[in-house]
């Protein structure tokens, strides 16, 4: 007989992720920090495509750009993201330029659910301005470049399944909640058996 309060025998409702949640959007949108928190909440693995590329190559993204050029980095990004979309569904944070690749977009559309983390320019800029790790922003007019990227890429990010706006003063937990609400709303348009988030009874 279950003993009330015994963690081994009490069951509770949990959300089960049935396909990878893939975070897309510009540098500074919070894909890595929010993605990590989202994965923790769902009890699934978190992966960041930039970190995976760095681990595989033994170099920082900035160094890869400098030594081998952007096309080389993008080829690695396509391979890494294809691998991250396989296996047990988790949360995948992609580098800001990844979703520009038609191959990656198609792969994500087939295997996952894409979430565009959007934010206004000043919010993005405040988060990236003092970090030397973004090769595309190592230039004197970095903020103008970020604005150009934002404008140029918006129609592509808009192809994501879901868009969630990040507030300058919002917490990571508030973002996690809004992403989950948006995924549930997205699921409503799908038949029950293909829902991204399934409610299951899980032993606590």
Positions at the binding site for ATP: 28-33, 134
Q: Considering beta carbons, is residue 121 or 184 the nearer one to ligand S3P?
A: 121
Angle, CA 171 vertex, CA 169 and CA 173 arms, to 5°: 160
Figure out which of the listed residues 82, 121, 136, 182 binds ligand S3P, where binding follows CB under 6 A: 136
The residue from 134, 175, 178, 196 that contacts ligand S3P (CB under 6 A) is 134
| Interface with ligand S3P, residue 118, by CB under 6 A | no
Neighbours of 159 (CB within 10 A): 13
76 near ligand S3P, rule: CB under 6 A: no
- Three-class DSSP category at 98: helix
Q: How many Å apart are CA 34 and CA 40, to the nearest integer?
A: 10
| Residue 89 touching ligand S3P (CB under 6 A) | no
> Among all residues, whose Cβ is closest to ligand S3P?
95
Encoding tokens for residue 123? 């919010």
Which residue positions form the known binding site for substrate? 50, 74, 96, 153
List CB contacts of 178: < 8 A, sequence separation 6 or more: 164
Which residues contact ligand S3P by CB under 6 A?
27, 31, 50, 61, 95-97, 134-136
């Amino acid at each position: 007989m279950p003993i009330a309060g015994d963690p081994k025998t009490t069951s509770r409702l949990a959300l089960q992720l049935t396909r990878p949640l893939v975070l897309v959007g510009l540098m500074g949108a919070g894909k890595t920090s929010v993605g990590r928190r989202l994965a923790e909440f769902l009890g699934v693995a978190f992966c960041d495509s930039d970190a995976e590329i760095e681990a595989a190559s033994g170099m920082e993204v900035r160094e890869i750009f400098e030594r081998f050029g952007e096309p080389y980095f993008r080829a690695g990004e396509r391979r890494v993201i294809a691998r991250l979309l396989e296996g047990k569904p988790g949360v995948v944070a992609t580098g800001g330029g990844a979703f520009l690749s038609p191959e990656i977009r198609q792969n994500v559309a087939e295997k996952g659910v894409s979430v565009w983390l959007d934010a206004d320019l000043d919010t993005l800029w405040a988060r990236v301005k003092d970090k030397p790790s973004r090769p595309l922003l190592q230039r004197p007019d970095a903020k103008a470049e970020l604005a150009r990227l934002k404008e140029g890429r918006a129609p592509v990010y808009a192809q994501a399944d879901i868009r969630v706006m990040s507030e300058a003063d919002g917490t990571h937990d508030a973002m996690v909640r809004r992403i989950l609400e948006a995924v549930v709303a997205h699921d409503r348009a799908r038949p029950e058996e293909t829902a991204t988030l399934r409610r299951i009874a899980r032993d606590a």
